[in-house]
Chain A
Amino acid sequence: MAFAKVQLDMEEKKAERQGFLSWVKLRPYAMIFPAIFIFCLFFIYPIGYMIYLSFHDWNFVSPVKDFVGTSNFSYLLSDRDFREVISNSFIYTFFTVFLTISLSLLLALWLNRGGTVYSFMQASIFSPHIISLVSVSMLWMWIMDADYGLLNWFLNLIGMESVMWLTSPEYALTSLILVAVWKGIGFNTLVFIAGLQSIPKDLYEAAELDHTPPWRRFLKITVPMLSPTLFFLTIIGVINSFQVFETINLMTAGGPINSTNTFVYYIYQYGFQFFKIGYASAAGVILLVILSVLTVVYFKVLSKRVHYR
């Protein structure tokens, strides 16, 4: 086996003699080039361009981009709509993630069993995760229809008043949160179940031998062993919820009276409807900062966990 290594080394030596531009040396770069090229073109460069545009005033057609310093940012921070966008995004994210995580943890503890019935249930609650957001949005618009929708029919059936789910400012954001929870709960449950199944069985067996009561077993074994999964799902949930767009665009268009407007929809509106590229880019930069902080926190905590083990 060592012979092959020697052969490879010889190949490299030969390559060195042939000079700087040998194939063996260039090969790795050639292999990563297509991917890196696309990353630079469609990810890295646009980020830089967005930061550049956030300091300029531009309406998309004009040939000149006026440098305006930080005035786009000060405009945004003084804009009442944008402050609403920030608070909507935080409310939406907090409740979506909190409800999804806590409900799916309960479901995972309940559905983590063998047998056809339970694997069928797992698949059923997972199914919305792979359905297009277009269909999810339109299906729920129809279910939440104020006059002929299924949800109001059910509320009336149990003696409650009809609710203007998507057309009233009090309920619209709540309705979008409900849809997000419905769509996301299955995926989260299954990841929790995978987490539960990776906990070594002998931990529970040892606890049982010690006559540890079930709730203590849950607090002392399940919760700590599940905390990496919990942390992962929370961060992913927060990052995804901050980028919500599809359901808002299709179900409420940010309304009524701006009550469901969130980051990405605001950027979309300012860029494509009002042609204020500078404001839109500045809002994008703020979102970039929030997402970067979350990502850095994620990796910081993750690397700490690895050290603990």
Chain B
Amino acid sequence: MNSSPIFKIANGIGLVLLFIIFAVPFVWMASTAFKSLGETMTFPPVWIPETLQWQNFVEAWNSGPFLKYFVNSVVVTLLILILQFATIIPAAYAFARYEFPLKNFFFALTMICLMIPSQLIFLPVYLNLSSWGILDTIWGLILPFATSAFGIFLLRQSFMQVPEELLEAARLDDASEWQIIRKIMLPLAKPVLITLALFSFIAHWNDYFWPLVMTTTDQARTLPLGIAMLRQVEGGAAWNVVMAGNLLLVLPILVIFFFAQKHIIRAFVYTGVK
């Protein structure tokens, strides 16, 4: 049945339509980013601009302190990544490998935090950050995410799978616990570590909600906020400049996705299935 020519043609048409639904918006974004303002206001729309308007990107970049936004984005994302690894690894090891009083209580607490979304607690956290004086600084964007319940959960599972004999052999050779983590645990958990890094990077690079709520001036704003403000600066009409800005935001992620496609998909789907 599946090899009949009619089925093949219908299948092919279906695939092309599906591809159009998911690719055309991005093509449209790229096409608009190179248009002149006049070309965005024609009906029916133009697909290929007459001349490529590279200055749209310059205009988008110069419409605000974009260098500052970019640096903030990089610093926030990297520091979150570093702090998360620094806090997740020891916690996951302790939960996976030690017995201690109140262990189950602390692990339950971690699991409760896994269930609490930032969209639920932003208001009280905002009030707290404000009274501690770190509102509108990059620390307000970093510290709440300096650890990850999800990360502890995943890494603990991976650490628990390492056979006890391996650790006993290492302890016989007088390896310290730190050496065991570094030489045995982390190399074996490498796929999980890559998954967590990809996850955290994509989530915080793209994040709009938290920086929107926790910043009030340009000194701590990040790239997604700057891009979102393009629309307000330009009054909503200059779609060519808005799309140029968005292309700058989307392109790095799409390039990473292109090269690490298998890894990223496996990371998201694997953590989805678990």
Contact = CB atoms under 8 A, between A and B. Distances in A.
Nearest to A53: B124
A190 B144 CA distance: 30
Contacts of A249: 212
Contact of A43 (B15, B116, B231): B116
A50 B231 CA distance: 33
B269 A190 contact: yes
B168 A4 contact: yes
Nearest to B207: A132
Interface in A176-205: 182, 186-187, 190-191, 193-195, 198
The bracket for how many chain A residues form the interface is 35 or more
Contacts of B254: 127, 131
Contacts of A134: 206, 208, 224, 227-228, 246, 249
Interface in A242-259: 243, 245-246, 249-250
A150 B171 contact: no
Contacts of A138: 227-228, 231, 242-243, 246
Given A38-B143, A135-B249, A191-B269, A47 B91 contact: no
A132 B116 contact: no
B13 interface: no
Interface in B224-254: 224, 227-228, 231, 239, 242-243, 246, 249-250, 253-254
Given A191-B269, A277-B123, A44 B213 contact: no
A191 B273 contact: yes
Given A1-B169, A138-B246, A131 B124 contact: no
A292 B116 CA distance: 9
Interface string A2-19: 011101100000000000
B6 interface: no
B32 A142 contact: yes
A284 B123 contact: yes
B96 to A, nearest CB: 11
B152 interface: yes
A258 B91 CA distance: 45
Interface stretch (A23-31, A69-77, A87-95): A23-31
Contacts of A239: 117
A223 interface: no
B243 A139 contact: yes
Contacts of B88: 35
- Chain B CB within 10 A, most for which of A3, A39, A271: A39
Interface stretch (B19-27, B51-59, B187-195): B19-27
Interface in A133-165: 133-135, 138-143, 145, 147-148, 150, 153, 157
A19 B93 CA distance: 24
B206 to A, nearest CB: 4
B87 interface: yes
B128 A122 contact: no
Contacts of B249: 132, 134-135
B243 A124 contact: no
B209 interface: yes
A219 interface: no
Contacts of A107: 18
Contacts of B257: 123, 127, 130
- Chain A CB within 10 A, most for which of B28, B122, B212, B261: B122
A44 B40 CA distance: 49
A166 B213 CA distance: 24
Nearest to A140: B25
Contacts of A59: none
B146 interface: yes
Interface of B: 14-15, 18-19, 21-26, 28-29, 32, 40-45, 86-88, 90-91, 93-95, 98, 100, 103, 106, 109-110, 112-113, 115-117, 119-128, 143-144, 146-147, 149, 152, 165, 167-169, 171-172, 177, 202, 205-209, 212-213, 224, 227-228, 231, 239, 242-243, 246, 249-250, 253-254, 257, 261, 264-265, 268-270, 272-273
18 contacts: A27-B94, A35-B152, A38-B147, A39-B113, A39-B147, A40-B109, A43-B113, A47-B120, A117-B15, A122-B265, A131-B254, A135-B249, A138-B242, A139-B25, A142-B28, A182-B22, A191-B272, A194-B273
